[in-house]
Amino acid sequence: MVERYQVSQVAALRWIARACLRNPAALLSAHALYRDLKSQGYAVSKDTVHALLGHLVDAFLLTLVPLATDSERRRNAKPRKVYPVDPGIIGAFDVSGRTNLGHALETAVLNTLACQGADVGYVKTDEGFEVDFLARIPGEPERLIQVCADPTPQEVLARELRALDSAARAYPRAERILIVLTQDQAAQIGVSGVRVCTAHKWLLGEEA
């Protein structure tokens, strides 16, 4: 990237890459990165931050998922969710010692949607709930997709389903899908109007 784009702010580029890769599936804005860089003593402009972030996307290191909205102005103004292109990178940059299985699964689902040619955004409802993905593939119904590696705690499952229900009011024609890790988890969830899929079957296209 340094050679291809003739980057002079190499230290800032490395800082942005680490900040993004250490926070998979997190909301990110160029303004927040600029502010944090300035606080760390980096002399960069906002335009430089936008350019460096664009280089990381162009080099297929990161994927940025925008807010799902028909308003171009609102989409550009809102933070994006940042994902590593390869879920395997997550463990290499994590400093907490956590497995980050949920973020890795979410990344794998996003990659599969990209391979399917889907236009993908995340949903933020009026009630403040978030759905991981709204996927739109030409000629197919919209899909509201929530990814949860461990839905066994009741409060976790309730939160995921509440977000899907809230988003369904804004996208009433969209199919609601909850992707979980194992068949045992899926067998324990029976909710009207929500299709529960195991990750391995969905990723293989058996429940897509």
Domain ranges of the chain: 99-208
What is the assigned CATH class of domain 99-208?
alpha beta
Do 157 and 189 meet the contact criterion of CB atoms below 8 Å apart? yes
How many Å apart are CA 84 and CA 70, to the nearest integer?
25
**What's the pLDDT at 140?**
92
**What's the pLDDT at 146?**
97
Regions of the chain where pLDDT drops below 50: none
**What's the pLDDT at 208?**
56
**What's the pLDDT at 84?**
95
Do 56 and 62 meet the contact criterion of CB atoms below 8 Å apart? yes
**What's the pLDDT at 154?**
93
Chain-centre distance for alpha carbon 60: 15
User: Is the pTM for the entire model greater than 0.85?
Assistant: yes
